């Protein structure tokens, strides 16, 4: 089909900052570009009208949970427009450092067939080989594509189209920094404006959107290392954490002192989820002697393949909606893989 034959599309571009909106300054790379500057010179197909809004102008390392909720609200407000203002798809431009968290929150609550595509850049806009314009043009093409309908929230960078769930930033500098930690990887790709999305990921029923309580709920992350003790776990409990994501060693292992600390937390009603320091592969209740089996016996939940950063967002959303610890743990198990009764990830 030629561009002329394609139906007209209104795509909202919501800018939040990040390197895609940044220039080099004497104090380092910082977001300085307005949304108009971010979209200027981005090639847009004839049938696409872009509606641009600036939600915030922040480096993603500065984002708070309240910011994530504001981005969620902005996307939902755009999708709620009707009549002549109605939108066919949304693109969110975002810093890449914490893009996986925002994209996953958007995906968890997305209750619409229309695509939401999150993109960013690894090189500043004033870099000679900046990737921002290509990534944004690709993301707009994906948001305008029928192939993206019903696919939930997608991440589009360096020509890859990935499901938000399971996607992680895997490299600190490479342009193709994002990868899916589940096989077979991306759902599809974009080449010179042509979108191909042959795969679909299993989608969970949408959760209620984050409300104000999400801004304040505390979910901590704690890493295991040789000689790790329970000091940080105690501090999490003292600070009022609702949940803790433990980054275990290997396939989700710890040591005796951490296991005791986890048992203390779960007995206090703090949900403990176990991911890994390793980027790929599931966490499993395989080892005793301070390992994953002991952590599960102490009341922890294995994340299997769900990235720890994304598990943290899910736990915050569930805790902010007033679920008790047992209900939070049960809901979390529905997102881990494999879990009883859950359909295969890929369809």
Ligand X SMILES: NC(=O)C[C@H](N)C(=O)O
Nearer to ligand X, 97 or 107 (CB): 97
The answer to whether 132 contacts ligand X (rule: CB under 6 A) is no
Whether 19 is catalytic is: yes
Q: Cα(210)–Cα(46) distance, rounded to whole angstroms?
A: 36
Minimum separation from the CB atom of position 121 to ligand X (A): 6
Q: What is the dihedral of CA 259, 265, 271, 275, to 10 degrees?
A: -30
Instruction: Pick between residue 266 and residue 309 the one whose CB is nearest to ligand X.
Output: 309
**Phi, psi values for residue 126, rounded to 5°:** -95, 10
Question: Which residues sit opposite 154 in a β-bridge?
Answer: 117, 163
* Chain center to CA of 328: 19
Closest distance of CB 159 from ligand X, Å = 16
Could you give the dihedral angle defined by the CA atoms of residues 172, 155, 55 and 208, in that order, rounded to the nearest 10 degrees? -120
For the bound state, the minimum distance from the C-beta of residue 139 to ligand X, rounded and expressed in Å, comes to 14
Q: Which two tokens stand for residue 183?
A: 């096989």
Segment contacting ligand X (CB under 6 A): 64-72, 77-85, 116-124, 134-142?
A: 116-124
Does position 18 bind ligand X by CB under 6 A?
yes
Nearest to 16 by CA among 55, 50, 53, 42: 55
Binding part of the chain for ligand X, among 92-100, 198-206, 217-225, 292-300 by CB under 6 A, reads: 92-100
Residue 96 catalytic? yes
**Residue tagged active-site, from 16, 96, 119, 283:** 96
Residue 19, interface with ligand X (CB under 6 A)? yes
Q: Tell me whether residue 307 or residue 325 sits nearer to ligand X (CB atom).
A: 307
Residues contacting 216, CB < 8 A, separation 6+: 65, 320
Structure-token match 């600036």, residue found: 54
Chosen residue from 2, 61, 82, 172 binding ligand X by CB under 6 A = 61
By the rule CB under 6 A, 167 interacts with ligand X: no
Task: Answer yes or no whether residue 255 interacts with ligand X by CB under 6 A.
Answer: no
Sole residue written with tokens 């292992």: 253
Distance of CA 184 to the CA centre of its chain: 18
Residue with smaller CB distance to ligand X, 18 or 282:
18
Q: Which residues bind ligand X (CB under 6 A)?
A: 18-19, 59-61, 95-97, 120-122
Active-site residues, by number, are: 19, 96
């Amino acid at each position: 089909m030629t561009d002329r034959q394609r139906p007209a599309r209104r795509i909202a571009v919501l800018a939040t900052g990040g390197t895609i909106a940044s220039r080099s300054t004497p104090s380092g790379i910082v977001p300085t570009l307005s949304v108009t500057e971010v979209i200027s010179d981005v090639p847009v197909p004839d049938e696409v009208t872009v509606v641009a809004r600036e939600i915030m102008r922040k480096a993603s390392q500065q984002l708070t949970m309240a910011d994530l909720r504001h981005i969620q609200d902005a996307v939902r407000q755009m999708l709620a427009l009707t009549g002549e203002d109605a939108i066919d798809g949304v693109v969110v431009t975002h810093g890449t450092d914490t893009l996986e968290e925002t994209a996953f929150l958007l995906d968890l609550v997305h209750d619409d067939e229309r695509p939401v595509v999150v993109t960013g850049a690894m090189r500043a806009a004033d870099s000679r080989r900046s990737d921002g314009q290509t990534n944004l043009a690709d993301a707009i093409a994906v948001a305008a594509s029928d192939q993206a309908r019903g696919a939930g929230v997608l991440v589009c960078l360096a020509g890859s189209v990935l499901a938000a769930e399971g996607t992680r930033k895997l490299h600190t500098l490479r342009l193709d920094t994002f990868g899916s930690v589940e096989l077979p990887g991306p759902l599809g790709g974009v080449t010179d404006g042509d979108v191909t999305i042959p795969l679909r990921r299993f989608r969970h029923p949408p959760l209620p959107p984050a409300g104000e309580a999400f801004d304040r709920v505390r979910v901590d992350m704690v890493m295991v290392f040789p000689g790790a003790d329970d000091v940080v776990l105690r501090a999490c409990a003292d600070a009022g954490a609702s949940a803790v994501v433990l980054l275990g060693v290997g396939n989700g292992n710890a040591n005796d002192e951490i296991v005791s600390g986890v048992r203390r937390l779960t007995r206090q009603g703090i949900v403990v989820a176990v991911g890994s320091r390793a980027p790929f592969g599931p966490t499993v209740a395989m080892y005793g002697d301070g390992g994953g089996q002991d952590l599960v016996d102490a009341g922890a939940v294995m994340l299997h393949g769900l990235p720890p950063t994304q598990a943290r967002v899910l736990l915050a959303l569930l805790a902010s909606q007033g679920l008790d610890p047992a209900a939070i743990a049960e809901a979390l198990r529905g997102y881990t893989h494999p879990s009883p009764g859950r359909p295969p990830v890929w369809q």
